[in-house]
């Protein structure tokens, strides 16, 4: 392509990043707190102990405040695929639209119908119906996460489809391959368990704050007990599924793995950098270099369960490594260009009614389709296909280190609640309160790793972001960007203030 | 079962599903209609709280229907998604922005330390109540009056720049807002008329819902007065739109070649050639009129259900008129052959089959919504019982 409007691409990306990151501030709490509320109501239903009803109602109030703003920030994301990523919507709409529609029919209606019963149905439905509604809200919100993560996983590892040259789009051929895409299964489990971890941190942090203020001691301790068990199980599951996710990344997105670990030169027995920093380095592209404390062989083990296995580095992927059968980006760009030209020639031949020629071009196209997206970088520097390494590295390592801290925190809280020493351990209570923003940071860093690490691909290897855009003015995108920035920021401030005042009031006595 | 259906039948089935979701959405816009009446119907803060809670118990249903409508359109007619959302940028973003503001307003409005103040959240609800029905009506009207766009799929592999490589181009700098001043066949009159008709219909349904579910003589007296005014305005704008629709040239499709051409009185022909749709439209309009009669002259509670059923039937038949019987449902005035039809804009046969199975969940969804609706509406709302509610907005 002779001309690229990078400004439009970057502002479209910035808007999606902004809206997605704002949305994700609220979603994890909805996913996990809904289950904890259902558990609390179940205990109340079984025991008839009014204490649990009061505990549930307090958390339900906070849940409602959070849910509203989660819904507000979420609606934009679905429609943004059309408004700002129009080419993408056509190129893969046949596959990508389906999970979004299923999400609406299967999950959103369940969530929105039963949330009304959960909040306003106390005196209007039986206790049992109310309890079932609580569980259906939790199931509905988690089902919604399933479908949107299936859609996201498909972008990272496109499967179950074939490209139709007549309609110029990818078409679904195997629904089960889309649903049970290995990346989808791991991504779903990793994302929801990390969301549960954050929700548990929220309950613990709020309860810890109440204990520090000497308020609602009994309720706070009971809440902490439920949350520490829930959080411990969740964070263990997050770590296990995170390991699974890393293996999927190693297999399907080797450049992302290299960026996550700052691995420039591929190695057998590759080490894992436990802690490191990005230093400027003008001699290499990208212009930085990661140095840090290395744990020998660990990256090979984590990625392939084999301490001696070769893990390709950024240079291997960009420049190619014949020894390990890795083609260079330049080769893939050439191959992608052949695919693009063959498709154009196929359409011309079809228009001219020359079936024989059309079939020849189609054969060429099919042979090179796996590199289709690279073709759009024809005539450009292949280094442009490297994601931002430092940002991916820092995000990934921040997330992992914080995950380790949360595991320790949940164990300490559980032990302290069980032996009734939690009130005396002010340092632990303060650490629990401070861990809440850290939990949010870990959540956002997880998404930054997943999404920045796969740049520039909107669909791995098939469609780069530069060609996925809409035919709109950059000024318009800038305007909507700032509109959402100001609106979401104002609503976030409102949410935090309302939450703070609700928490200050404490549990109903 | 869906495997046995032809591709054409599946496309028609899915256009039917889109029509159903669209019809449900227009009916559920009564929440938005209600949001524009909080001040008109209430004399004090307590009465306003009754009304806000009345509509607040239902807002998520409208919101969810809109989101599902979008998702279903994406899954079944992705070319529409790419063309309309990626082109009529401002129309869709203004609608979405109005819904963003609505989503927080019920929950935040009465909370202390809510940062923006109660009046601001009430203004957000009003804004959503005016903008969403009006612009959705305008957007649907362009299904008959047309927009300015072009679609060329080979741009993806032929264009010299990444912006030109986008397959769907909106060909005006107003990105959809030009529907409000488009002079082709006096389209702006038609578009604005449907926008206003949907707005006043949302208010009419809201007023009848108040009649059915509120136990407060003051509120009911005010709502009766409002009902007459809004019903008349709805009828004026809707009948103007419908009668004109019967006379304008429409966007017909040549069955064999798929070529789009202008045909005089196309939508009237559609009614004649699809008598079932004509009957549905007549039944829908009749049900709305009966509902209005019962609401205005008989003061009956069940009037709401008549206008509700009438709304659903009428909107269904409007969508059928737009898409069935070889008609381009999203016509282009810039390049007639770029117009979208249910045949050229749909997903693949396989996807429509998969989505067909997904659609079997709809009756189940409708059933639990009906259960929850009944449970929450079992008792009328009044100042006294709102006071007793453990949770309220």
Q: What is the pLDDT of residues A429-486, one digit of tens each?
A: 999 999 999 999 999 999 999 999 999 999 999 999 999 999 999 999 999 999 999 9
- Using a CB-CB distance cutoff of 8 angstroms, which residues of chain A are in contact with residue B159? 1
Q: Is A8 on the interface with B (CB under 8 A)?
A: yes
**Residues B89 and A57: beta-carbon distance below 8 Å:** no
**CA A264 – CA A281 distance, rounded (Å):** 12
Is ipTM > 0.90 here? yes
Where are the domains positioned within chain B? Answer: 2-249+328-388
In this structure, are A171 and A198 located in the same domain?
yes
Tell me which chain B residues have a C-beta less than 8 angstroms from the C-beta of A179. none
Res A283 pLDDT > 70: no
Q: Is residue A248 part of a domain?
A: no
Judge whether A239 and A407 are in contact, CB under 8 Å: yes
In the three-class reduction of DSSP (H, G, I as helix; E, B as strand; rest coil), residue B262 is classed as strand
pLDDT (mean) for A381-398: 94
The pLDDT score that the predictor gives to residue B385 is: 86
**What residue in A sits closest to B96 (Cα-Cα)?**
A76
- b/e A26-47 (16+ beta carbons within 10 angstroms → b): bbbbbbbbbbbbbbbbebbeee
Using a CB–CB cutoff of 8 Å, tell me whether A128 touches chain B: no
pLDDT surpassing 80 at residue A56: yes
Do A171 and B350 touch, CB atoms closer than 8 A?
yes
Same-domain pairing of A350 and A445: no
What rounded mean pLDDT belongs to chain A?
A: 94
Fill in the DSSP letter of residue B191: H
Residues of A in contact with B213 (CB under 8 A): none
Q: How far is CA A505 from the centre of its chain?
A: 34
Q: How does pLDDT run across A471-488, given as a tens digit for each residue?
A: 999 999 999 999 999 999
Query: A380 lies in a domain?
Result: yes
Domain match, A81 and A39 both: yes
What's the confidence (pLDDT) of residue A507? Answer: 85
Smallest Cβ–Cβ distance between A8 and the set B64, B67, B163 belongs to: B163
| Complete DSSP assignment for B348-392 | -HHHHHHHHHHHTTHHHHHHHHHHHHHHHTSS-B-HHHHHH-SS-
Sign of the torsion angle spanned by Cα atoms A418, A419, A420, A423: negative
Residue A108 has pLDDT above 70, yes or no: yes
In A254-376, which ranges are continuous DSSP H helix?
254-261, 298-304, 314-319, 329-352, 355-368
Query: In this complex, which of B86, B115, B164 lies closest to A470 when CB atoms are compared?
Result: B86
Q: Are residues A67 and A118 in the same domain?
A: yes
A21 touches A488 (CB < 8 A): no
CB atoms closer than 10 angstroms to residue A135: 18
Tell me whether A83 touches chain B (CB under 8 Å): yes
Residue A397 forms part of a structural domain: no
Q: Does A282 have pLDDT greater than 70?
A: no
Closest CB from A104, A125, A169 relative to B68: A104
Collect all residues of chain A within an 8 Å Cβ-Cβ radius of residue B160. 1-3
Examine the pLDDT at A285 and tell me if it is beyond 70: no
Q: Does the CA dihedral B177-B183-B187-B188 come out positive or negative?
A: positive
CA-nearest of A167, A169, A170 to A178 is A170
Residue of B61, B104, B350 lying closest to A72 (CB–CB): B104
Residue B111 has φ and ψ, to the nearest 5°, of -80, 145
Provide the Cα torsion B331, B336, B338, B341; round to 10°.
50
Cβ contact A1–B160 (<8 Å): yes
pLDDT at position B172 is: 96
Does residue A143 sit at the B interface (CB-CB below 8 Å)? no
Q: What is the pLDDT of residue A287?
A: 67
Which residue numbers in chain B have pLDDT < 50?
none
Task: Indicate whether A66 and A164 sit together in one domain.
Answer: yes
Q: Which helix (H) or strand (E) holds A164?
A: strand A161-164
Pairwise CB contact (< 8 Å): B160 & A4 = no
* Same structural domain, A352 and A208: no
Q: Give me the residues of A, 154-183, that contact B with CB < 8 A.
A: 164, 167-169, 171-173, 175
Question: Are A79 and A215 part of one and the same domain?
Answer: yes
* A169 beta partners: A164
A380 touches chain B (CB under 8 A): no
Full DSSP string of A283-313: TSSSSEEEEEEEETTHHHHHHHS-TT-EE--
Same domain, A359 and A419: no
Q: Rounded to an integer, what distance in angstroms lies between the CA atom of residue B108 and that of residue B147?
A: 38
Domain that holds residue A129: 6-243+409-505
Q: In terms of domains, do A434 and A349 share one?
A: no
- pLDDT confidence bin for A284, thresholds 50/70/90: low
Number of domains making up chain A: 2
Compare all CA atoms of chain B with the CA of A54 and give the residue at the minimum distance.
B390
Nearest Cα neighbor of A255 from A301, A286, A283, A291 is A286
A238, part of any domain: yes
Q: Is A408 exposed, middle or buried (0-12, 13-18, 19+ CB in 10 A)?
A: exposed
> Is residue A369 included in any domain, yes or no?
yes
Residues A463 and A435 both lie in one domain? yes
- Do A351 and A463 share a domain, yes or no? no
Contact between chains at B167 and A167 (C-beta distance less than 8 A) = no
SS3 content of chain A, % helix, strand, coil (to 5): 75, 5, 20
CA–CA distance, B104 with B116 (Å, rounded to integer): 12
What's the predicted TM-score (pTM) here? 0.95
**A158 and A42 part of one domain:** yes
């Amino acid at each position: 392509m002779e001309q690229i409007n990078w400004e439009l691409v970057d502002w479209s990306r910035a808007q999606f990043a902004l809206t997605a990151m704002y949305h994700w501030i609220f979603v994890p709490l909805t996913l996990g707190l809904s289950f904890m509320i259902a558990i609390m109501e179940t205990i109340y239903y079984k025991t008839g102990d009014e204490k649990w009803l009061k505990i549930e109602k307090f958390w339900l109030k906070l849940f409602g405040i959070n849910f509203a703003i989660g819904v507000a920030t979420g609606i934009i994301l679905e429609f943004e695929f059309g408004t700002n990523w129009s080419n993408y919507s056509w190129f893969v709409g046949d596959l990508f639209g389906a999970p979004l529609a299923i999400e609406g029919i299967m999950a959103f209606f369940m969530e929105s119908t039963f949330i009304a019963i959960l909040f306003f149905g106390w005196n209007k439905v039986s206790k049992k119906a109310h309890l079932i509604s609580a569980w259906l809200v939790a199931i509905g919100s988690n089902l919604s996460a399933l479908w949107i993560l299936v859609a996201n996983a498909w972008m990272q590892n496109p499967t179950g489809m074939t490209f139709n040259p007549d309609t110029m789009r990818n078409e679904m051929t195997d629904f089960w391959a889309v649903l049970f895409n290995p990346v989808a299964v791991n991504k779903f489990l990793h994302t929801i368990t990390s969301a549960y971890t954050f929700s548990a941190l929220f309950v613990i942090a709020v309860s810890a704050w109440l204990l520090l203020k000497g308020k609602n001691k009994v309720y706070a301790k009971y809440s902490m007990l439920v949350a520490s068990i829930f959080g411990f199980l969740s964070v263990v599951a997050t770590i296990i599924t995170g390991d699974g996710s890393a293996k999927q990344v190693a297999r399907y997105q080797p450049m992302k793995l290299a960026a996550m670990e700052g691995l420039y030169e591929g190695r057998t027995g590759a080490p894992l950098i436990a802690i490191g920093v990005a230093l400027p380095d003008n001699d290499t592209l990208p212009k930085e270099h990661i140095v840090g404390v290395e744990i020998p062989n660990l990256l090979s083990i984590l990625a392939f369960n084999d301490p001696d296995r070769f893990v390709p580095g950024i240079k291997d992927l960009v420049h190619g490594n014949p020894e390990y059968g890795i083609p260079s980006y330049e080769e893939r760009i050439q191959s992608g260009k052949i695919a693009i030209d063959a498709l154009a020639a196929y359409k011309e031949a079809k228009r001219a009614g020359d079936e024989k020629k059309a079939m020849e071009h189609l054969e060429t196209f099919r042979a090179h389709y796996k590199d289709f997206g690279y073709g759009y970088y024809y005539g450009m520097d292949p280094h442009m296909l490297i994601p931002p390494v430092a940002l991916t590295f820092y995000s990934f390592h921040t997330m992992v280190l914080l995950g380790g801290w949360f595991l320790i925190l949940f164990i300490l809280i559980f032990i302290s609640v069980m032996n009734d020493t939690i009130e005396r351990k002010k340092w632990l209570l303060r650490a629990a309160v401070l861990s809440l923003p850290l939990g949010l940071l870990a959540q956002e860093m997880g998404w930054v790793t997943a999404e920045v690490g796969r740049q520039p691909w909107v669909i791995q290897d098939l469609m780069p972001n530069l060609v996925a855009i809409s035919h709109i003015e950059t000024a318009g995108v800038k305007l909507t960007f700032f509109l959402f920035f100001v609106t979401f920021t104002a609503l976030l401030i409102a949410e935090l203030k309302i939450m703070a005042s609700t928490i200050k009031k404490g549990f109903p006595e | 079962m869906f495997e046995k259906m032809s591709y054409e039948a599946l496309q028609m089935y899915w256009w039917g599903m889109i029509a159903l979701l669209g019809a449900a959405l227009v009916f559920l816009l009564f929440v938005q209609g209600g949001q524009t009446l909080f001040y008109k119907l209430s004399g004090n803060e307590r009465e306003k709280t009754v009304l806000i809670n009345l509509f607040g118990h239902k807002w998520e249903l409208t919101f969810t229907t809109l989101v599902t409508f979008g998702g279903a359109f994406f899954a079944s007619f992705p070319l529409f998604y790419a063309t309309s959302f990626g082109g009529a940028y401002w129309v869709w973003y203004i609608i979405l922005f109005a819904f963003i503001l609505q989503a927080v307003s019920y929950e935040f409005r009465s909370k202390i330390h809510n940062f923006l103040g109660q009046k601001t959240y009430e203004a957000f609800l009003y804004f959503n109540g005016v903008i969403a029905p009006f612009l959705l009506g305008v957007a649907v009207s362009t299904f008959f009056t047309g927009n300015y766009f072009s679609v060329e799929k080979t741009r993806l592999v032929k264009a010299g720049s990444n912006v030109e490589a986008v397959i769907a181009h909106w060909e005006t700098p107003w990105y959809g807002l030009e529907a409000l001043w488009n002079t082709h066949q006096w389209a702006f009159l038609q578009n604005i008329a449907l926008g206003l008709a949907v707005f006043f219909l949302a208010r009419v349904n809201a007023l009848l819902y108040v009649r059915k579910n509120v136990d407060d003589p003051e509120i009911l007296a005010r709502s009766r007065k409002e009902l007459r005014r809004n019903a008349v305005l709805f009828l004026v704008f809707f009948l103007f739109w419908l009668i004109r629709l019967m006379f304008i040239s429409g966007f017909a499709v040549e069955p064999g070649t798929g070529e789009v051409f202008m045909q005089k009185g196309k939508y009237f022909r559609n009614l004649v050639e699809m008598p079932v749709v004509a009957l549905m439209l007549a039944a829908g309009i009749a049900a709305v009129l009966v509902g209005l009669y019962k609401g205005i002259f008989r003061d009956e509670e069940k009037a709401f259900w008549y206008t509700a059923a009438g709304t659903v039937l009428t909107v269904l038949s409007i969508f059928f008129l737009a898409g069935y019987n070889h008609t381009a449902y999203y016509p282009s005035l810039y390049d007639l052959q770029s117009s979208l039809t249910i045949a050229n804009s749909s997903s693949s046969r396989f996807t429509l089959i998969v989505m067909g199975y997904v659609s079997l969940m709809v009756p189940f969804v409708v059933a639990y919504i009906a259960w929850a609706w009944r449970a929450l509406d079992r008792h009328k709302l009044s100042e006294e019982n709102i006071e007793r509610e453990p949770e309220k907005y």
